[in-house]
Chain A
Amino acid sequence: MIEILEFIDRWGGLIWESTIETFQMVSISLVISIIIGLPLGILLVLTRPGKSLDNKYLSGFLNVIINIIRSVPFIILLFTLLPFTRFIVGTSMGVRGVIVPLVVFTAPYIARLMESALLEVDKGVIEAYEAMGIRTRDIIWHVMVREAKPSIILGITIAVIGLIGATAMAGLVGAGGLGDVAYRFGHLRYEPVVMYATIVILIIIIQVIQTLGNQIAARAKKD
């Protein structure tokens, strides 16, 4: 008991702070990634052959770009993007400096997840709405996105978990976070308890997020 109190006394502040940092990085980059990824996913679907914005070149271009980014491991992306990050946010260090690579890493992933979620939507329903004389932009929002919502939520859940994994490397540019604590104190300074503590916290966070995602998706599904 005393040992636990002692541990909390010594490491509690640091772990709490880094948990907040992880949350900051994840939530900010998630929001930006959804803002970019969802429309991109819609565009990927609509530019497919036979769809309403059928466009071979745009579709091919988007696919190549997304595949290229998705082939690069985050840690490499992080360093490759340093100049770009500095150009966009003025710094390549700290939480601000890691948001750019996190978004570049996550947005294409979300776009792919959105694409597959939207492709699951029953074509018949889309057709029925076309037959009723409803505008394409309304069909996108009120039929496609609406009907895909359960899959979209599950997709975003997966993306969040991937994002949390990626933030572990944020320490390398001084952005902190749980992964950074585990690495610096747990690994480099031989404090295995710190490592285990962060792992336990990460496990709890992931569990909560996945459970929450499943529940919200199930509620949206109405089945």
Chain B
Amino acid sequence: MIELRHLSKTFKSKKKSEDVLALDDVSLHVKKGEIYGVIGYSGAGKSTLVRCVNYLERPTSGEVIINGAELGAMSTEQLRQARQNIGMIFQGFNLLKTANVYDNIAIPLKLTGVSSSEIKARVDKYLDIVGLADKKNVFPNQLSGGQKQRVAIARALSHEPEVLLSDEATSALDPETTDAILDLLLKINREFGITILLITHEMHVIQKICDQVAVMENGQVIEQGKVIDIYTQPKNKTTEKFVSSIFPSDIPETIIDDLEKQGPIIHLTFVGHSADQPALSMVSKQFDIQSNILSGNIVQLKNQPFGKLTAHIQGDKSETDKALAYLQEQGVKVSEVKKRD
């Protein structure tokens, strides 16, 4: 549905040495009906990336192909038409302050040539979907951040696009509102089959609704794949940092020093089925060891649960080795914690 081929974007400065390479040969492929997340720290180039997808930012080189059509080859008029099929929501909501909720959705429809009876039907329909049917005559400044984003989502949906781009749409919202908006995005993805490409700096967003994820750093995609694979096997330091942001397991070094003398400290990673098994208590029964949980957490990814546990295993070396081997047989990923890890 969305295919980005070798996109690069350079922001020119007066001095050539100060040119900024915001995107460096980025290729992505978002399949129809998928929710694809791009995560990265600020300055990683993710905002430039999503703005290149609808040509708000013209890439310096590379191709953007939406639904088989290359945007770069289009005339202004064709691009304008193509954009009507690509919805976009923003961190700052970007609603008209001087228009009420109804007009905020109706005006863009009118300007894209939708008939007035159709406009009324669509505004009602999509306000209902985002749960703001009773706020039609209210002005944006009387709405909360979450409600404003709902209006912006209704505005985007009202053009009945096949693709929705989200530029940090939940970054200005509190955690609870963020979850509600993410649920809404998930709902429209499922009900209307809209393909969603979103960018964020919060791992939570990726974990909750994304099927695929790409991690960006310095204008490059450094890792991409299924969310579950990135969570269980991050290959890159930055990716690891993002994953561990969900599992804060900073154990003080003095404690690690102390404990290491008495046996290994291990990270246990559970995915899907193995997350429901009481694996740790089972090994404690079967082998002559004692386990002590230092920290742990289990999260629900979009399709399956995923857990991570940090535990200290005490006992004879031979017994602990057997225990670890047994855990691995059970489908639990085991890695030993080293100091300053």
Residues of A near any B CB (own CB < 8 A):
122, 124-125, 127-135, 138, 142-143, 146-147, 149-150, 220-223
Residues of A within 8 A of B187 (CB): none
Q: Write out the residue numbers on chain B whose beta carbons fall within 8 Å of the beta carbon of A134.
A: 80, 108, 111-112
Q: Does B84 contact A (CB under 8 A)?
A: yes
Q: Which residues of B contact A (CB under 8 A)?
A: 54, 56, 79-84, 86-88, 90, 92-99, 107-108, 111-112, 139, 141, 152, 155-156, 159, 165
| Given A132-B88, A223-B97, 16 further pairs, Cβ under 8 A | A124-B93, A124-B94, A125-B95, A131-B54, A131-B86, A131-B88, A132-B84, A132-B112, A132-B156, A132-B159, A133-B82, A133-B84, A133-B112, A135-B80, A146-B98, A146-B99
- Decide yes or no: A220 and B56 within 8 Å by CB, A131-B86, A133-B112, A134-B112 being known contacts: no
Give the residue among A122, A129, A131 with the most B Cβ atoms within 10 A: A131
Closest 9 pairs (CB-CB, A-B): A133-B83, A128-B94, A133-B84, A124-B94, A131-B88, A133-B80, A222-B139, A124-B92, A138-B111
Q: B108–A149 contact, CB under 8 A?
A: no
B80 contacts A143, C-beta separation under 8 Å = no
Residue of A nearest to B100 (CB): A222
Which of A125, A149, A223 meets B94, CB within 8 Å?
A125
A interface: dominant SS: helix
Q: Assess the B83–A131 pair: CB atoms within 8 A.
A: yes
Residue of chain A at shortest CB distance from B79? A133
Asked if A147 contacts B88 (CB within 8 A), the reply is no
5 contacts between A and B (CB under 8 A): A124-B92, A132-B156, A133-B81, A134-B112, A149-B98
Give chain A nearest CB distance to B143 CB in angstroms.
12
**Complex-state Cα separation, A147 to B165, whole angstroms:** 25
Q: In the bound complex, do residue A122 and residue B94 qualify as a contact, i.e. CB atoms below 8 Å apart?
A: yes
Give B80 Cβ to nearest chain A Cβ, in Å. 4
Distance between Cα atoms of A52 and B107 in the complex (Å)? 21
Contact B96 A125 (CB under 8 A): yes
Q: Are A132 and B83 in contact, CB atoms less than 8 angstroms apart?
A: yes
**Which residues of A are found within 8 Å of B165, using beta-carbon distances?**
131
For A141, give the chain B residue with the smallest CB separation. Answer: B111
Give, as a whole number of angstroms, the nearest-CB distance from B205 to chain A.
20
* Minimum CB–CB distance for A211 against chain B, Å: 21
Contact B96 A146 (CB under 8 A): yes
The docked-state distance in angstroms from the alpha carbon of A86 to that of B152 is: 55
The CA-CA distance from A109 to B159 in the complex, in Å, is 40
Tell me the minimal C-beta distance from A138 to chain B in angstroms. 5
Q: Quick check: A128 and B112 within 8 Å, CB to CB?
A: no
Residue of B nearest to A139 (CB): B111
Residues of chain B contacted by A149 (CB below 8 angstroms): 98
Question: By the criterion CB–CB under 8 Å, are A142 and B83 in contact?
Answer: no
The answer to whether A135 and B94 have CB atoms under 8 Å apart is: no
Residues on A with C-beta less than 8 A from B99 are 146
Contact B98 A220 (CB under 8 A): yes
Residues of A within 8 A of B94 (CB): 122, 124-125, 127-128
Contact A131 B112 (CB under 8 A): no
For residue A150, which residues in chain B have a CB less than 8 angstroms away from its CB? 98
CB of B15, distance to nearest CB on chain A (Å): 17
Q: Which residue, A124, A132, A223, has most C-beta atoms of chain B within 10 A?
A: A132
Report how far A213 CA is from B88 CA in the complex, Å.
37
Checking A127, A142, A221 against B56 with a beta-carbon cut-off of 8 angstroms, the contacting residue is: A127
State A144–B293 Cα separation when bound (angstroms): 59
A93 and B245 alpha carbons, distance in the complex (Å): 78
Chain B residues near A131: list those with CB within 8 A: 54, 56, 83, 86, 88, 165
> In the assembled complex, which residues on chain A have CB atoms less than 8 Å from the CB atom of B92?
122, 124
